Chain A
Amino acid sequence: MTSYDAIVVGAGPAGASAALALARAGRRVVMVERGLFPGAKNVYGGVIYGRVLDDIIPAWWEEVPFDRWVVRRSTMVMTPNQSLSIDYRTDAWADAPYNGMTATRSRFDAWLAGRAVAEGATLVTSTVATGLIRDQRGAVVGVRTDRDGAELLAPVVVAADGVNSFLAKEAGLLPKADAAHHTLGVKEVLKLPTEVINDRFGVSNHQGVDIEMLGCTGEVPGGGFLYTNTDSVSIGVVLSLPQLAASGRRPESFIADLKEHPSIAPLLRGATLGEYSAHLIPEGGFHVMPKLAVDGMVLTGDAAGMTLAAGIWLEGVNFAIGSGWTAGQAIDRALATGDVSASGLASYRSDLEESFVLADHRRLRRAPGLVLSERVQQRYPGLVCDLAESFFTVTNPTPKAGGRKWLQAATKKHGVRLRHLVRDGWEGMRTFG
């Protein structure tokens, strides 16, 4: 049997990046992936912010399997029959080094894992890591698999097994179930011809649009998203699990409502369902992130809850890549010193603190709570839309009431006190500032 320096469980972005770092350092590394191919089990919004790859794969944009480069980012605040958007566009994002790309995970994840293989990593697909193997002192020394019961042994295991990480649970690093810190994402990919998408969204070939939405999930805290792919549009919602379960409303009904919204329906006219899918998102952020290293094992990407989910603005793939890459380098150093205990692997965490991965998480640690709060979810979208309506409505011959009156009327109607508005505004500055 081949012996390995490290076993990576999961060939998603985190696992592939860890394997790439280790392979490049000359280590013998194997990725174990339960899917038929890397990406087969993975679902996201999705836009990938690729700059994290600059140092890892120079000129990555020349080979990455993307759909469209995002040139328009919109945030839409809505009620069932109103919407107000902030819409930013720059065609500079359609040139290197680019900002974000829409991409399909079955292609992107397979590409990244393939890059690791090209540099010497081994990929074993259609294989589940079913449990941890430990030595007498409790250190992780390998994994059991469901491939003829085979066991894989190595000094270090990388848990890159995503949001439900059963490896982290088995090691006692994550609770068995934690609905309060997870949201459910449900998505429909709707097929539309490329030219129709170009015309409706005002872009040319290879240019894409990303729209995030707040106020479209009724009584359940969450948000919506819409992304343009080459010849399809991805539309979906993200829903807080406990409130979804208590709501009595089925997940797909939120997408159905969103698709009928007057600002969204015309964009989708004539589209047909290409694929329906769902996946969980770790939304707890910095406060609930588990310990990242134990003796013989590190946690990366969603297994460590590393999606930056400021409510509706989701960045997870870049964080998975950043953490996997950093983990791979830290493991290489630990292997060189011969100390793969938790303290030998501790530079993984300190390196992450230095990088965007934990710096952004620390900075935005209050964002999930704020964006999913009752006022931001239930009251502000209506308030903001009503203010916009007052501002843009011409009421002749009645004279204009003016800003203060409008604000008074809107806050009263939506049950918001001015001091709450001021406090939340301040909280927003602290959170995002």
Chain B
Amino acid sequence: MNNRWQGVSFTDRLATVDYRVGERAHIVVDSDVCRSCTTKACVTACPANLFAPTAEGGILFNYEDCFECGTCYMVCNNDGAITWTYPDGGFGVVFHRG
């Protein structure tokens, strides 16, 4: 049974979450600033696993599956790397079992 627990892929995991995806990206990551980042703390800590390191040392980010938790801007120590806002009213994550 161990393998089954470990085996929950991120796609399956996020498939359990309801989103009303808005057109505006509510979080924008400036990959140029990230290139100089040595911690890549966001890659480790984002619970929705939305920060993907690129081969050039930057970050590829997709806002669509975001929980709007705030972890990324809290742990990021590079000013200007993350522009963080809430999605427009009514958009974004809809938790049903929070």
* Contact of A126 with B by CB under 8 A: yes
Question: Could you say which of B1-9, B28-36, B55-63 contacts chain A?
Answer: B1-9
Q: Which of A184, A249, A275, A277 has the most CB of B within 10 A?
A: A277
Q: Provide the bound-state CA to CA distance between A178 and B74, in Å.
A: 6
- The proximity string for A residues 174-186 relative to B, scoring 1 for CB distances below 8 Å and 0 otherwise, is 0001110010101
User: How many Å from the CB of B42 to the closest CB on chain A?
Assistant: 8
Contacts A126-B89, A128-B86, A252-B13 hold; do A275 and B73 have CB atoms under 8 A apart?
Answer: no
Residues of A near B67 (CB, < 8 A) are 43, 277-279
* Contact of A416 with B by CB under 8 A: no
Residues of A near B97 (CB, < 8 A) are 104, 106, 189, 229, 232, 234, 274-275, 277
Q: Which of B5, B41, B93 contacts A41 (CB 8 A)?
A: B93
Q: Does B94 contact A35, Cβ atoms closer than 8 Å?
A: yes
* Contact of A256 with B by CB under 8 A: yes
Q: Does A40 contact B94, Cβ atoms closer than 8 Å?
A: yes
Residues of A near B70 (CB, < 8 A) are 163-164, 280
Contacts A241-B75, A250-B44 hold; do A269 and B1 have CB atoms under 8 A apart?
Answer: yes
Q: Which of B8, B49, B75, B94 contacts A245 (CB 8 A)?
A: B75
Q: Does B44 contact A275, Cβ atoms closer than 8 Å?
A: no
Residues of B near A279 (CB, < 8 A) are 67, 69, 98
Q: Does A277 contact B95, Cβ atoms closer than 8 Å?
A: yes
- The proximity string for A residues 111-140 relative to B, scoring 1 for CB distances below 8 Å and 0 otherwise, is 000000000000001111000000000000
Residues of B near A179 (CB, < 8 A) are 74-75
The interface on chain B, measured as residues whose beta carbon lies within 8 A of the other chain's beta carbons, has a size of 39
Residues of B near A251 (CB, < 8 A) are 45, 47
* Contact of A36 with B by CB under 8 A: yes
* Contact of A211 with B by CB under 8 A: no
Residues of A near B41 (CB, < 8 A) are 245-246
Q: Does B95 contact A146, Cβ atoms closer than 8 Å?
A: no
Q: Provide the bound-state CA to CA distance between A210 and B87, in Å.
A: 34
Q: Which of B5, B14, B68, B93 contacts A256 (CB 8 A)?
A: B5
Q: Which of B39, B71, B75, B98 contacts A277 (CB 8 A)?
A: B98
Q: Provide the bound-state CA to CA distance between A229 and B98, in Å.
A: 11
Q: Does A252 contact B89, Cβ atoms closer than 8 Å?
A: no
Q: Which of B5, B86, B95 contacts A260 (CB 8 A)?
A: B5
Residues of B near A39 (CB, < 8 A) are 95, 98
Q: Provide the bound-state CA to CA distance between A405 and B10, in Å.
A: 48
* Contact of B16 with A by CB under 8 A: yes
Interface residues of A in 28-43 (CB under 8 A from B): 34-36, 39-43
Q: Provide the bound-state CA to CA distance between A276 and B95, in Å.
A: 9
Contacts A163-B70, A278-B71 hold; do A104 and B44 have CB atoms under 8 A apart?
Answer: no
Residues of B near A274 (CB, < 8 A) are 16, 97
Q: Provide the bound-state CA to CA distance between A273 and B79, in Å.
A: 37
Which residues in A have some Cβ–Cβ distance to B below 8 Å?
34-36, 39-44, 104-106, 125-128, 145-147, 163-164, 166, 177-179, 182, 184, 186, 189, 229, 232, 234, 241-242, 244-252, 256, 259-260, 265, 269, 273-280
11 A-B contacts (beta carbon < 8 Å): A40-B94, A43-B98, A106-B95, A128-B86, A184-B47, A245-B41, A256-B8, A273-B12, A274-B16, A277-B17, A278-B67
6 closest Cβ contacts across the A-B interface? Answer: A126-B90, A278-B47, A245-B41, A43-B98, A105-B98, A126-B89
